[in-house]
Structure formats: structure tokens, C-alpha cells
């Protein structure tokens, strides 16, 4: 039983991804005692990507232990948005990494979509990658921000198609009257995240990585060789990686207290006719506004709309996710009022205080690694961060040293005061959005 994430049936409903997955992969439950080089706890993007990166370096004696099935966590529940960047606000980490470090991180943060595209091509993964992303603004302040992003994007990715649309031209990017500006970035896009994960898992197992599902880790002992126990088996390893993100519970208290969970919710519409999809999304892409707490949505290969959002100020889990998300979708696309909502689900997101992903090892156990805290967007960032983490877990690298040197505050009172802390945090995040040009 996972205690860290307060899951309930409402959030745990069938997802678009589970309903349309193309890989029928099943992995055994751990029922033996194994000796490996690396044991990874958690079978989402973080666990599987790190394993695949290590396998590509020749480290293949790896066991991944997943408590449920691959993609049970955020990886099988998200919006599939392939956005640019990592973290929300690189200025927040500037004082720790300095000007030069920030430059390195800015470069790193543009690698994500390329890693995903290369991996899909290399392993022939059926993940429906579609290019086209629209960052949307409602007012002049946000337009100014998007103009700044345009310059940054053009400098960082000169070969990619990036264009700012304002006024009536916005409709060339998005079929909504709500927005006054749109930055189209054809380097980003969207992906079927569960099929991507399963394709990556298949590639990892073909290189020797062993995956176990329904193998919840219940006890871990640290030392020169770590010992990891599930109900029916044991893994001993030289290195361990905690890759449980928002699903980590009190089993690893030091890592657990560095993040706090907030929730996001998704809906999926029925299949829509081509002309309606063209109207909604002339670029057949993915979108988010640039407010501090975003609405994010996209069209799918099968002509559905996936719409996602989170509560704006007060932190709570709506009792009727279909109705809750439909209301937000109709604010953007009122002409979808007669469209049927077929599925709705949700899940926890693990947030760092500085909204930047966390990688590193425990100071007193340098063979105990962790990755977590994507703070709302992890599809692209997990691909970047786990590449760097795998460098740190093998030969070491300057960029691993840089990323893992960023300190992360503990969230005091996160279990007892979760809703209160998040409500205060969201209100602050929303308010500060004014002077950061995000509102
Ligand atoms: C509703 C929602 C919408 C989102 N939308 C987007 C989006 O559009 N774009 C984007 O970039 N990001 C989005 N995200 C965030 C993104 O999905 C996550 O950041 C990312 O998938 C995290 O991957 P992960 O592997 O670190 O964690 P997860 O995918 O959560 O995997 C952790 C795994 O660890 C397992 N586990 C936990 N404890 C144990 C244990 N004791 N033993 C064994 N296994 C254990 C869990 O079962 C789980 O499968 C969204 C998330 C949610 C919930």
C-alpha cells in the first residue's frame, strides 16, 4: 500500500494511455534472491530511462523493481506534453550555480525533445510523437514574456521553427478566442507517454536489464552492498536508485521530505471529426498557457482532446473529475459543449521548493542515488535529468556534479499540513506571477 500519495479510485480511473497502449509487455514478480550492480526502485520514466542510459554505457546487470505495473505513476497519467526546459524558473537556482553554471543548465535544458525523438528513432518505439507546441498568453504582460522566450529559444535552437503570433493570427496556432498571443515551437510537441515508456523498457530488457512488476519494495538496508526486500524476494546491489517520485513514501525519509505532492487532473474526449480537430489545433499540437498554474492540453493521433489542469489556489481533489476538467476545457473551447467526455483521471506531482528537479546521492551513502521533484513537468525533463544521473552513477561528469550540487530544502510538516502549505504556496506562486510576467 502506497501511503505517500493518497490515491483514490477517482484519480486511479482508466487513463487514455492504458486504454490505447500498443505494447503488451508483462514482467514477473520478484520471487528470488538476486545479485546485481544496480537496483532501481520505480518503473516510470525516471527508473527506466536511467536503466536504459546505463545499459547503453555497458552497465546491464540492473534490476528494476516496480510496485505495481510499469507506468502506474505519473508516467502513465500525464498530458504527454513535450515542452522545452527543466524547472520553472532558472533564476531560482542562479545563486547556487552562478552565471556559468546557469549557462550550462540552460544548454542542458534544451536537450529533452531531441533525446525523446532520437530514442524513438533508434528503438523504433510506437509512441505517436507529434511535433508542434504552443505557449499561450492572455495579455500584454504575457506577450512581453513570450517575446523574451522567442529570443532565448532562437538563440538556443537556431534550427527549429519558432514563431510568435499576436492578435487575429493566434488562430493559426490555436482555435480559441481566449488568447492574445501564441509562441509556436515546432521543436516541442506531444507523445504517448506510456507507449514511450514501454518501448524504452523493451529496449532496456533487450540489453540485459531485468524488470519486475508487482514487486513493491518494503525494506532497504544501506551499506557497501545494499539489500532491497520485496514480499517474496531480495536484491543485493552495489548501487541503488530511488525513482519513485510522487509515489515515494516514508520508506526513505531523507529523500521523501525534500518534496511535496500536488495534484493534476486530466480528461479525454470522444473521437472528434477531422474538421473540428483542425479548428481546435491547426498545428495538431500540444499547448499550455504560461500562467503559474497552467491549463495544458493537446489533440491525440485518434482525434481526441486531452485536457489537463490543476487547482489554482486552494489545494483539493475534485470529486467529479470529468465535470471539473470539462468546465476548464469549455472556458477555452466553448464550442466543445456537446462533446462527450469519455475518461478522466489524475495523479500526484512531486514538487521541490525551488521547482527544480532533484538528482544526487545521500551524503552519508554515496552509493544511494535519487531522482525526483520534477514539479509539474517531467516527460521531457526526466529524459534529460536521467541521462545526467546515469553519468553520475557511472563515470561521473561535470554536469552531474553541477546538477547534484543544487541544495533542496526539506518541506517541514508536509504530511499534516499538505493542503495548507500547498494552498499558501500556490497563492504565492500565482501572485509572484505578476512581476514575473506570467499573469
Ligand atoms: C495528471 C498528471 C499530468 C501530468 N502532465 C504532465 C505533462 O503534460 N507533461 C509533463 O512533462 N509532465 C506531466 N506530469 C508529470 C510527469 O508525468 C512526471 O513528472 C513523470 O512521469 C515522473 O516520472 P517518474 O518515473 O519520476 O515517476 P512515476 O512515473 O510516478 O513512477 C514512480 C513509480 O515508482 C513506483 N513505486 C513507488 N514506491 C515504490 C516501492 N516502494 N516499490 C516499488 N515501486 C515503487 C510507483 O508505483 C511508480 O510506478 C503529469 C503528472 C500527472 C500525475
Q: Tell me, in angstroms, the distance from the centre of ligand 1 to residue 64's CA.
A: 15
Kindly state if the Cβ of 70 falls inside 6 Å of ligand 1: no
CB burial readout 41-63, b (16+ within 10 A) else e? bbbbbbbbbbbbbbbbeebbbbb
Q: Tell me, in angstroms, the distance from the centre of ligand 1 to residue 53's CA.
A: 18
- In the prediction, which pLDDT does 421 show? 87
Kindly state if the Cβ of 245 falls inside 6 Å of ligand 1: yes
Give the residue, out of 6, 83, 189, 244, with the most ligand 1 atoms within 8 A of its beta carbon, to mutate for a pocket test. 244
- In the prediction, which pLDDT does 5 show? 43
- Per-residue pLDDT of 119-139, as tens digits, reads 999 999 999 999 999 999 999
- Per-residue pLDDT of 406-424, as tens digits, reads 999 999 888 888 888 888 8
Nearest CA to ligand 1 atom 30: 73
Q: Which atom of ligand 1 is nearest to the CA of 266?
A: 1
d(CA 134, CA 188): 9
Instruction: Give this prediction's pTM.
Output: 0.96
- In the prediction, which pLDDT does 4 show? 39
**285 touches 298 (CB < 8 A):** yes
Name 294's Cβ contacts closer than 8 Å, sequence gap at least 6.
288, 309, 310, 376
Side-chain-side CA neighbours of residue 130 (13 Å)? 21
Kindly state if the Cβ of 373 falls inside 6 Å of ligand 1: no
Low-confidence ranges of the chain (pLDDT < 50): 1-6
Q: Tell me, in angstroms, the distance from the centre of ligand 1 to residue 249's CA.
A: 13
Give the residue, out of 29, 44, 217, with the most ligand 1 atoms within 8 A of its beta carbon, to mutate for a pocket test. 44
Nearest CA to ligand 1 atom 35: 42
Nearest CA to ligand 1 atom 53: 347
- In the prediction, which pLDDT does 439 show? 76
Kindly state if the Cβ of 16 falls inside 6 Å of ligand 1: no
d(CA 192, CA 81): 9
- Can you spell out the DSSP letters for 72-100? -SGGGTS--EE-S-SSS-THHHHHHHHHH
Name 90's Cβ contacts closer than 8 Å, sequence gap at least 6.
102, 105, 106, 109
Long-range contacts of 52-57 (CB under 8 A, 24+ apart): 52/119, 52/200, 52/203, 52/204, 52/207, 52/209, 53/386, 53/387, 53/389, 53/390, 54/390, 54/393, 54/394, 55/204, 55/207, 55/208, 55/209, 56/207, 57/390, 57/394, 57/395
Give the residue, out of 247, 263, 345, with the most ligand 1 atoms within 8 A of its beta carbon, to mutate for a pocket test. 247
- The three-state secondary structure class of 377 is coil
Within 72-179, residue ranges assigned H as helices are 91-108, 112-123, 140-156
Kindly state if the Cβ of 242 falls inside 6 Å of ligand 1: no
Nearest CA to ligand 1 atom 17: 74
Structural element, H or E, at residue 400: helix 398-404
- In the prediction, which pLDDT does 2 show? 31
Amino acid at each position: 500500500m502506497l501511503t505517500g500519495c493518497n490515491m483514490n479510485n477517482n484519480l486511479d480511473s482508466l487513463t487514455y494511455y492504458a486504454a490505447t497502449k500498443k505494447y503488451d509487455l508483462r514482467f514477473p514478480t520478484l520471487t528470488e534472491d538476486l545479485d546485481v550492480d544496480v537496483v532501481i526502485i520505480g518503473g516510470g520514466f525516471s527508473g527506466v530511462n536511467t536503466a536504459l542510459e546505463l545499459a547503453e554505457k555497458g552497465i546491464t546487470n540492473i534490476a528494476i523493481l516496480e510496485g505495481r505495473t510499469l507506468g502506474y505513476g505519473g508516467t502513465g497519467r500525464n498530458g504527454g506534453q513535450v515542452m522545452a526546459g527543466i524547472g520553472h524558473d532558472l533564476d531560482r537556482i542562479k545563486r547556487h550555480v552562478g552565471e556559468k553554471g546557469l549557462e550550462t543548465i540552460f544548454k542542458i535544458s534544451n536537450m529533452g525533445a531531441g533525446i525523446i525523438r532520437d530514442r524513438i528513432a533508434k528503438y523504433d518505439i510506437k509512441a505517436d510523437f507529434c511535433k508542434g507546441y504552443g505557449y499561450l498568453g492572455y495579455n500584454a504582460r504575457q506577450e512581453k514574456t513570450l517575446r523574451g522566450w522567442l529570443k532565448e529559444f532562437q538563440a538556443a535552437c537556431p534550427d527549429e521553427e519558432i514563431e510568435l503570433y499576436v492578435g487575429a493570427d493566434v488562430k493559426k496556432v490555436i482555435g480559441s478566442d481566449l488568447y492574445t498571443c501564441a509562441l509556436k515551437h515546432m521543436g516541442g510537441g506531444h507523445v504517448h507517454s506510456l507507449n514511450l515508456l514501454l518501448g524504452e523498457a523493451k529496449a532496456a530488457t533487450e540489453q540485459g536489464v531485468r524488470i519486475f512488476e508487482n514487486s513493491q519494495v518494503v525494506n532497504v538496508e544501506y551499506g557497501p552492498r545494499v539489500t532491497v526486500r520485496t514480499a517474496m524476494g531480495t536484491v543485493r546491489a552495489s548501487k541503488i536508485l530511488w525513482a519513485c517520485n510522487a509515489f515515494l513514501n516514508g520508506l526513505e525519509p531523507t529523500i521523501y521530505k525534500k518534496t511535496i505532492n500536488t495534484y493534476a487532473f486530466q480528461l479525454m474526449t470522444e473521437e472528434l471529426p477531422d474538421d473540428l480537430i483542425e479548428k481546435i489545433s491547426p498545428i495538431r499540437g500540444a499547448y499550455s498557457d504560461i500562467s503559474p498554474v497552467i491549463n495544458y492540453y493537446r489533440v491525440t493521433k485518434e482525434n481526441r482532446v486531452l485536457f489537463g489542469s490543476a487547482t489554482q489556489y486552494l489545494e483539493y481533489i475534485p470529486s467529479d473529475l470529468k465535470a471539473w476538467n470539462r468546465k476548464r476545457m469549455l472556458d477555452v473551447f466553448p464550442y466543445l459543449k456537446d462533446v462527450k467526455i469519455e475518461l478522466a483521471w489524475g495523479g500526484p506531482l512531486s514538487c521541490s521548493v525551488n521547482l527544480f528537479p532533484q538528482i544526487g546521492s545521500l551524503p552519508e551513502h554515496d552509493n544511494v542515488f535519487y531522482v525526483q521533484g520534477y514539479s509539474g513537468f517531467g516527460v521531457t525533463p526526466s529524459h534529460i535529468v536521467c541521462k545526467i544521473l546515469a553519468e553520475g552513477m557511472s563515470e561521473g561528469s561535470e554536469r552531474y556534479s553541477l546538477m547534484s550540487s543544487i541544495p533542496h530544502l526539506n518541506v517541514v510538516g508536509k504530511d499534516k499540513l499538505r493542503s495548507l502549505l500547498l494552498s499558501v504556496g500556490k497563492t504565492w506562486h500565482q501572485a509572484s506571477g505578476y512581476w514575473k510576467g506570467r499573469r
